[in-house]
Structure 1
Amino acid sequence: MDIKIIISAVLLFSLESLSQDVKKEVNPHDCKMMFTYGYGYNKFFHISPSGSHDGGNITIRFLVRARSDAHLLLSSTPTPMDGEAVYEVVLGGGKNVFSDIRRLRLGSTKATAYTKDLLSPVELRGFWVHFDGKGILQVGKEGDDFPFLFWADPSPLDIRYFSFSTWTGVVGKWLYDCPIANDSETIEIVEAKPTTMTEKLRKYLLSNYNPYALPVLHEDHRLAVFMHLTFHHVNLDMKRSAFSIDGTVPMHWIDEKIHWKPEDYGGLTSLHITEHEVWIPEIVLYNAVGHGANILGHAGMTVTSEGAVMWSPSAHLEVWCNLNLDQWPNDIHTCELQLGLWSQTQFVELLLAENETVMEDEQRTGSEWEVIKLESETVISRTPWNQDVDADMLTSGTLTIRVTVRRQSQQQNIIFVVPLIVINVLMMLSFWMTSMNTGKFSIQCMCLVLLAIFTVTVGNALPAPAEHVPCLVLMYSWSMIAGLMSVLVTTIVINISRYAHASPPPTFICALITLPVTRIMLFLPQVKTEASKTYNQLEENFNVHESCADINTRTPTSTHLEIQQYWIILSSAVDHISSFIQFVFLVGILIKYN
């Protein structure tokens, strides 16, 4: 026999038995109440044996107020795991267009029905869900005998618990476990009548308001949404190349569907409402770290009698940023925030309110970054998810905000720059030790090792590789080269000073290093001519009257000592010149760094 005939027969039998139950209308007074926001089943209710749970038959009656996506979950356990078999009933899904039955949370649809405007954002509407224990699940409106949605499960579940939920950005008010009225009593599902001017105004504005429709009276009208950013905290994660902003995004626009005469409502010129009650722009961060949707937090809204809507939600914006590390750690970076709309891009224009994007004078939390410049422009481009589609209608205006930040912390300068200066000064001072003192060789080798250690430390502290090498890394690299040259010069100078020379330096060198100007500029000693002194005991205030050529007329001992003195003076000249070069090098890299 055809399986459809069997299911139809069983369903008709169930409907006959069910019709007696659904005639008992629910009384909304003295019901239990709960609110849900977003998707997630946080509280489960046990179905105890009662009139609503007769053997395998379960009937759950409830009232719900939501703009869309009311979810009811039927489960065998109080905490069903992901992937565990459950029954999930979705009422008013797809922006209040259809309803579904699923056998897994967010699973594939087992049964669906077109139910446009099934739910209401302003009034409670009643429903019933019946499960006969044999696999037939039925969903209907309160007061109707026949379901508008049903499904027969070939492998029925043992249902013991139920739970309520809505969807992202949707608030739901639920009434459940309501007393059952007598068969002869007729109770209408209504809420208390408005008693204040505010309640009357809310009823007037929101009763027939569709929060999914664009708030314009004519289809050819474009809606301008003005916004600006108020930063409370900015941060740049150098390792991830991610720039983040925490603050608020005040927005305002004109809702042509909201308008009233203040004199008709006690002089009320403004009304405070929640964000889900009227249309709001679905703003998306196109270059976000992550999906980029739902970037705005929750905040109340204010509407005026002229239709102006003002909304200031909190926001956490995190985007990828192309880093410029040339001047790290005194670095300046420019990052872009590309804001656009998820839908209705052809009818909504996102604009930055002129001169209203500000950085608060006092940040709520400490940050090492300071905003120094803000720029914005609107660019017509394709949405990121439609890059391959060739259609003009898929283009939209992207609000691009460029934020330039500068590091204001001096910690890196103290940690990395000061040791570099100290090491270079130490190498410079080592050249002023006596030319035959081997201690300066040890000092310069130690400085070279310290430079290598700090270079590795700087490399580990750097963020991800960038297009250009940071200036600080170049400073350490060139300092290591300068240190290597210092070791080489010191090695040559020590060997020249300690080696026994048979002849003096060339005549022009002797003449140059004995000139008074040279001696003053390089702080060189004078040649000592007394044979009683050893060549390393030099007197700086003795005048030289002889040239290198006159040394050959001296006695052998005197000649040998003076030859050594000329070589020692030459070594001192090389040391002092190297010291000056080291000083110029240090000043040069500091100027480049700053």
Structure 2
Amino acid sequence: MHIGIQAGSNGHILLSPIYKPGYKDPVYEIVVGGGGNQFTELRRNLKRNARSSVKTPRILSSFEVRGFYIKITQDGIIEFGKEGSALPLLSYIDVDPLEIKYFSFAAWTGVEAKFLYDCPIPSGNGTEPSPDSKEIEPPLSISDELKRSRLLYRLPWIPPKPQMDVRLGIKVTNVKYDAFKSKLVTAMSVVISWTDESMAWFPGKFNNTLSLKFRQGQIWRPKFHVFNSDNEGIFDARNSDLISMSYNGEATFHFQTKVYTWCVDSPPGLSKWPHDEYMCSIVIQPWEAHEKIFIDPIDPKDAKMHIFSDIDEVINNEWEMTTKQIVIGPTIWNKVYITDDNETHQSDRMIINVQVKRRAEAYNIVFYTPLVVLMWFVLMSFWSEPLTMNRIWFLTSCTIVICMGLCYIDYLIPSHTTPSILVLYTTVLAGVLLAILIQVCLMTPEMESIRTTETVQKVMNVNILRTIFCMPGYLTSSDRNGGYSLQEDEDPQPIPITRDIEEMESESQRMLGDKKDLAEFVDRILFVIYSITFAAMLAAHF
């Protein structure tokens, strides 16, 4: 097979015996100009298992098609070389050769490549010529001639000047914070602008051509990456436009990307989840350490940023975001981030401070409504009939509801933090369990000995406390005898029974039911304590 490749680097050729091979399937993958156009390699599997490799600096070109050939024999001899060269670049003998039925071409992310295959070979190149073929110079338009003259003998991986001034504009379009992994996912729109005076031209000589479009890899462009990203690599340019070059040498490149950064700014102590806030930083620096780039941030109101506003709209989600961008020089960075070697990277860095706050409207309904209802039910239970099993069953039901909620809440709350709302639920649960314990103790016969103690009787006889706790007046001994004393009247006259029978039974129950009176007294005390505790914790939470 004869192949022509036009690319800045990383021309990939796949030869496979099956359709759509997987990672483990045996294939032949030839990488031409890998590692930034530095080496050529033959692999036995996709992206791995290299069998032959050779250094080939500048083997590919972004402005001209360069010819190669692939030769595979039935004996398993695989050769790859330049068209017209006597010796191949790669040679490998496969003891278990593959029967090739499919082939495909690809390039690396951010590299545009053009592949031509099985074209007839013109005569005079040192190989067997095709009798009916000859090399024809394709007709070029004015813009193609201009582009060819600008790209001729230009190395796209070398910056135009030792020090480059680059305008960098970043618009954050979407953020998502993963509290379980402490990772921030940021989608952003990037606009890069720089000036290459060697690419300038006079429009009058080229039919008033004011601008050109270049693919990635044809000319030099500044590459950036995130210093505190979870993986190493340059910006993954998604939905990228062509590089627009004006006649004065000003170039503009726009693309969209998504970065993943660690965010370790977790608040100490109790967190306010779901009203949590986080402050994260994204450090952007040039990818090439040997390049010296000075960054000038583009104002969001600049015309360059507004050109792409239609396709780079901010997408709202559960997180509210506030961003602030600053640029720091290498001197300040070396003082802040001290390493063993601070002299290698001498470029500016852009730091984007992102403050995210969760929109908690839905969480408020889901979590706080049951919490308030449970608190209200617990407080109202202290005004119900004491010393009955209905009270026990009600408080037990509240305990079951809270425990069921706590069993599933760990799927929503990060385990490395303790939200104050979890403390609220735990406090309510502890209060319910304490109330159940007190009710059970009041129903036991052992409480009779405690009830008859002098201290308990004195506390229960304090009229101020009974008035504050809305308790009925306590009946004295004179009240029990209808206001008469036996010592004062030796010959009492029989008192006619004129009271209603139900009223007498109720009064008799009050006089004799001291155990129930104690239970009501304890309920009022618990009501006051629980009300103050719940109100204080809610106020501290918000």
TM value normalised by structure 1: 0.71
Distance 1:458 1:94, change over 3 A: closer
* 1:304 lines up with 2:249 in the alignment: no
Q: Would the aligned equivalents of 1:74 and 1:87 in 2 still touch at CA under 8 Å?
A: yes
2:216 to 252, 272, 275: 275
2:394 to 428, 443, 451: 443
Distance 1:523 1:259, change over 3 A: same
- 1:164-563 correspondence to structure 2 within 5 Å: 164-179=105-120, 187-188=134-135, 190-194=137-141, 196=142, 198-216=143-161, 219=162, 221-231=163-173, 233-300=174-241, 301-322=243-264, 323-324=266-267, 326-344=271-289, 346-350=291-295, 352-354=297-299, 367-374=317-324, 376=326, 378=328, 380=330, 390=341, 392-394=343-345, 397-466=348-417, 469-491=418-440, 499=448, 509=459, 512-513=462-463, 515=464, 518-527=465-474
Distance 1:531 1:521, change over 3 A: closer
Q: Would the aligned equivalents of 1:247 and 1:315 in 2 still touch at CA under 8 Å?
A: yes
Q: CA deviation at 1:405?
A: 1.0
Instruction: Provide the residue aligned with 1:540 in structure 2.
Output: none
Q: CA deviation at 1:147?
A: 3.7
Give the 3-state SS of the residue equivalent to 1:169 in structure 2. coil
Distance 1:449 1:268, change over 3 A: same
Q: CA deviation at 1:70?
A: 2.7
- 1:102-117 correspondence to structure 2 within 5 Å: 106-108=48-50, 110=52, 112=54, 114=56, 116-117=57-58
Q: CA deviation at 1:371?
A: 0.7
Q: Distance in 2 between matches of 1:435 and 1:81?
A: 72
Q: Deviation per CA, 1:124-148, whole angstroms, max 9, x where unpaired?
A: 2333344565566555544x36246
Distance 1:496 1:519, change over 3 A: farther
Q: Would the aligned equivalents of 1:227 and 1:249 in 2 still touch at CA under 8 Å?
A: yes
Instruction: Provide the residue aligned with 1:149 in structure 2.
Output: 89
Q: Give, as a single letter, the amino acid of the residue that structure 1 aligns with 2:317.
A: S
Q: CA deviation at 1:156?
A: 8.1
Q: Would the aligned equivalents of 1:340 and 1:398 in 2 still touch at CA under 8 Å?
A: yes
* 1:69 lines up with 2:45 in the alignment: no
Q: Distance in 2 between matches of 1:446 and 1:102?
A: 66
In structure 1, list runs of 5 or more residues that go unmatched.
1-59, 535-543
Q: Give, as a single letter, the amino acid of the residue that structure 2 aligns with 1:265.
A: F
Q: Distance in 1 between matches of 2:207 and 2:153?
A: 22
Q: Give, as a single letter, the amino acid of the residue that structure 1 aligns with 2:431.
A: A
Q: Deviation per CA, 1:216-238, whole angstroms, max 9, x where unpaired?
A: 2xx3x24434131231x322223
Q: Would the aligned equivalents of 2:82 and 2:89 in 1 still touch at CA under 8 Å?
A: no
Instruction: Provide the residue aligned with 1:44 in structure 2.
Output: none
Q: Distance in 2 between matches of 1:570 and 1:545?
A: 25
Q: Would the aligned equivalents of 1:246 and 1:315 in 2 still touch at CA under 8 Å?
A: yes
Q: Deviation per CA, 1:339-363, whole angstroms, max 9, x where unpaired?
A: 23331355124554456799x9997
Q: Deviation per CA, 1:97-143, whole angstroms, max 9, x where unpaired?
A: 444555665543536364x443321222333344565566555544x
Q: Would the aligned equivalents of 1:377 and 1:399 in 2 still touch at CA under 8 Å?
A: yes
Q: Distance in 2 between matches of 1:532 and 1:497?
A: 28
Q: CA deviation at 1:591?
A: 1.2
Give the 3-state SS of the residue equivalent to 2:198 in structure 1. coil
Q: Deviation per CA, 1:545-573, whole angstroms, max 9, x where unpaired?
A: 99xxx999999x99997764677555434
Give the 3-state SS of the residue equivalent to 1:584 in structure 2. helix
In structure 2, list runs of 5 or more residues that go unmatched.
123-128, 493-503
Q: Distance in 2 between matches of 1:553 and 1:525?
A: 29
Q: Distance in 2 between matches of 1:576 and 1:473?
A: 27
Give the 3-state SS of the residue equivalent to 1:108 in structure 2. strand
Q: Distance in 2 between matches of 1:84 and 1:532?
A: 100
Q: Give, as a single letter, the amino acid of the residue that structure 1 aligns with 2:401.
A: L
Q: CA deviation at 1:525?
A: 1.5
Q: Would the aligned equivalents of 2:159 and 2:291 in 1 still touch at CA under 8 Å?
A: no
Q: Distance in 2 between matches of 1:437 and 1:84?
A: 74
Q: Deviation per CA, 1:128-179, whole angstroms, max 9, x where unpaired?
A: 344565566555544x362463536374846644443333332221222334
Q: Would the aligned equivalents of 1:416 and 1:454 in 2 still touch at CA under 8 Å?
A: no
Q: Distance in 2 between matches of 1:387 and 1:156?
A: 53
Give the 3-state SS of the residue equivalent to 1:204 in structure 2. helix
Q: Would the aligned equivalents of 2:323 and 2:354 in 1 still touch at CA under 8 Å?
A: yes
Deviates more, 1:425-434 or 1:369-378: 369-378
Give the 3-state SS of the residue equivalent to 1:465 in structure 2. coil
Give the 3-state SS of the residue equivalent to 2:61 in structure 1. coil
Q: Distance in 2 between matches of 1:187 and 1:256?
A: 38
Q: Distance in 2 between matches of 1:260 and 1:154?
A: 52
Distance 1:503 1:565, change over 3 A: farther
Give the 3-state SS of the residue equivalent to 1:248 in structure 2. strand
Q: Distance in 1 between matches of 2:223 and 2:186?
A: 19
Q: Would the aligned equivalents of 1:496 and 1:568 in 2 still touch at CA under 8 Å?
A: no
Q: Distance in 2 between matches of 1:522 and 1:476?
A: 27
Q: Distance in 2 between matches of 1:253 and 1:551?
A: 113
Q: Deviation per CA, 1:261-309, whole angstroms, max 9, x where unpaired?
A: 2333343433333333222333222333444444332411322223222
Distance 1:140 1:441, change over 3 A: closer
Q: Distance in 2 between matches of 1:480 and 1:261?
A: 80
Q: CA deviation at 1:450?
A: 2.6
Give the 3-state SS of the residue equivalent to 1:580 in structure 2. helix
Give the 3-state SS of the residue equivalent to 2:462 in structure 1. helix
Q: Distance in 1 between matches of 2:279 and 2:168?
A: 23
Q: Give, as a single letter, the amino acid of the residue that structure 1 aligns with 2:473.
A: Q
* 1:577 lines up with 2:517 in the alignment: no
Instruction: Provide the residue aligned with 1:9 in structure 2.
Output: none
Q: Would the aligned equivalents of 1:76 and 1:157 in 2 still touch at CA under 8 Å?
A: no
Q: Distance in 2 between matches of 1:112 and 1:257?
A: 33
Q: Distance in 2 between matches of 1:128 and 1:290?
A: 36
Q: CA deviation at 1:422?
A: 1.1
Give the 3-state SS of the residue equivalent to 2:271 in structure 1. coil
Q: Give, as a single letter, the amino acid of the residue that structure 2 aligns with 1:112.
A: V
Give the 3-state SS of the residue equivalent to 1:367 in structure 2. coil
Distance 1:254 1:509, change over 3 A: same
Distance 1:445 1:140, change over 3 A: closer
CA RMSD of aligned residues (A): 4.4
Distance 1:375 1:429, change over 3 A: farther
Give the 3-state SS of the residue equivalent to 2:344 in structure 1. helix
% same residue:
21
Q: Distance in 2 between matches of 1:127 and 1:170?
A: 19
Distance 1:289 1:566, change over 3 A: same
